[in-house]
Chain A
Amino acid sequence: MTPDGDTAAGTVDEEPRFSTWTGTARGWMLRRLPPDKLLPEDQPSYVASWIYVFGMGAIAALVYIIVSGCILALNGPAWYHVSGLGHFINSTHLWSVELFFMFMVIHLWGKYWMAAWRGGRVLTWITGVIAFVVSIVTAFTGYLLQTNFDSQWIAFQAKDALNAVGVGAWFNVTNLGQILMWHITLLPLAVAGVVALHVVLVRMHGVVPPLDAAATDAQLQQDLPQRASVEGEHL
């Protein structure tokens, strides 16, 4: 067995060769996402607009959704009806969700007008849309768990659309236990997984350059990336 990292002499690109599955996987990952791409210390000069803040804002809001959701989970879905602290935590859960969607929608529109799928970034776009759709379903199940008048009515109304497409028995909005499982296990796993994949893809491909960027542009007149102070908004 060749130890990980052994370099086979005579290879054209002088990349390490691995004989184990683990080593091959590591090599594949390192080629696509080297540490300086995963955790960069610089960005292209064009990454200078407030629009870039909203993707990170959505992730920050997701952090609060998860934290407040964990506290609510520890106390059960009816806790917030009878506890002042519980009601406040419920409020933070609600408002972090509202901010999450607001940031995500601005981020989505921004990326659309930047045509951010260009240059092999199509999977980044697709995972972003999937994250948006899965988040909508997750938020919907949260509204069903309020165990109050609103959730009762949403369940009564929403059953028709789900029954009409034949999934009402497995996604039974009037079955609190079933919806609780969707909301606190299945769907958060899906959201976290898709968002993580989306972020990794962003780091792998980098931020899409401006439309009409040409090799004759002043900012492309250098062969190697180097830091330069750029006026304008900081991220």
Chain B
Amino acid sequence: MSKNTDPMSWRMRNDIAGRPWRGRAREYDLFKELTVGVMVVGLLVLGLSAVFSSPDDPSVTLKSWATAAPADFVATATAELGGTSKTAGYGPPYNATPDASQKLGPIDLQSFSGVRIPIDTANDFVISPLQSLPSSPSAVSDWKAGTDKQHVDWAAAYTDALSKAPDNDPAKVGPGDYGPVPALTGTLLGMAQQGALDGVLQAKDSFYSTDYTRSTLFLGDGTYFPGLADTAHLTGDQWGMMNETGNYPGQSWLWLFSFVYQVQPIKSSPNADILVVSIMAVLTLLLTLVPFIPGLRSLPRRIPIHRLIWKDYYRRR
């Protein structure tokens, strides 16, 4: 069908769709419809709110993490010191870890922005907070006196020892060459359990702060926080992007976004995020440009749902 005669075309032509309607009309009151609509929707909103309320599960703090799962906290702090945590190996915008960024073929948008929010996990998550204490532990000086290789070796040895200890309990770790790591992580644990670490990590020597990047990343490097999310059916493989805590509908409009994450090979790809965002960008563009795409714009003619919508009109033709 040529452009000029295609009845599904978006073009303005001198036909029934393009001209002002010259046939029969019916009475219509825009303001009355708006008023009735606002009243009906208002009743629905008030009714749904009164019956179902809204979810509000309390946030996790570094204090609640350190209190509920001290072994996980210490293991995570050790990984931050040794540079083996997820954040330490994340790449831009937090650090310049080589080959860490996600790529779409040769395109590396993640690196394009550069390191905009620099995070040195050992210093930012462990050493600096300990230095803020009234009497900074001597282990901090010992750590600073160590070489980079010693830092890595100490942390690796302690991580290994923690994993072999009963219940991963730091108190049950056997002797070994861990340098100042046990003292550093133990003091940080005490600081977190008292509630001091939350403020220090967020504010970073400033009175004001609205930035929770460091606290969130530190929490996410452990297993406690993701474990809670898993229990609340919020993780990615549970379609968590569109879920909400409790039995609430959440962002159900993200179902397609969430669905694409479940499809192989995207699901197990190291570039899953950039692949999913790219696919969604293309699909959104297709939806926007439906009127220009011959096959897609003709579907409403082939599947005549319009017969139901305008059944009154068709009956009176």
Query: What per-residue 1/0 map shows which CB atoms of A51-63 lie under 8 Å from chain B?
Result: 1010011011101
Q: Which of A12-20, A24-32, A114-122 contacts B (4 or more CB under 8 A)?
A: A114-122
Interface residues of B, count at CB 8 A: 110
Residues of A within 8 A of B317 (CB): 217-219
Asked if A229 is at the interface (CB within 8 A of a chain B CB), the reply is: yes
Q: Out of A46, A93, A180, A206, which one reaches B313, CB within 8 Å? A: A46
Asked if B194 is at the interface (CB within 8 A of a chain A CB), the reply is: no
Establish whether residues B274 and A164, one from each chain, have CB atoms under 8 Å apart when the complex forms. yes
Interface residues, chain B, with chain A CB atoms under 8 Å away: 7-13, 15-31, 33-34, 37-38, 40-42, 44-46, 48-50, 52-60, 90, 92-93, 101-102, 109-113, 116-117, 210-213, 216-217, 219-220, 225, 228-229, 232, 234-236, 240-241, 244-245, 248-254, 271, 273-274, 276-277, 284, 287-288, 290-292, 297, 300-301, 303-306, 309-314, 316-317
CB B243 to nearest CB in A, in angstroms, measures: 9
With A113-B300, A120-B10 known as contacts, the answer to whether A149 contacts B58 (CB < 8 A) is yes
Establish whether residues A208 and B305, one from each chain, have CB atoms under 8 Å apart when the complex forms. no
CB B142 to nearest CB in A, in angstroms, measures: 32
Query: What per-residue 1/0 map shows which CB atoms of A205-235 lie under 8 Å from chain B?
Result: 0101111111101111111111111111001
Establish whether residues B253 and A136, one from each chain, have CB atoms under 8 Å apart when the complex forms. yes
Asked if A175 is at the interface (CB within 8 A of a chain B CB), the reply is: yes
Chain A interface category by residue count: 35 or more
With A153-B229, A174-B212 known as contacts, the answer to whether A63 contacts B38 (CB < 8 A) is yes
CB B80 to nearest CB in A, in angstroms, measures: 16
Interface residues, chain A, with chain B CB atoms under 8 Å away: 39-49, 51, 53, 56-57, 59-61, 63-64, 80-81, 87-88, 90-96, 98-99, 101, 105, 110, 112-115, 117-122, 125-126, 129-130, 133, 136, 139-140, 143, 146-153, 155-161, 163-169, 172, 174-178, 180, 206, 208-215, 217-232, 235
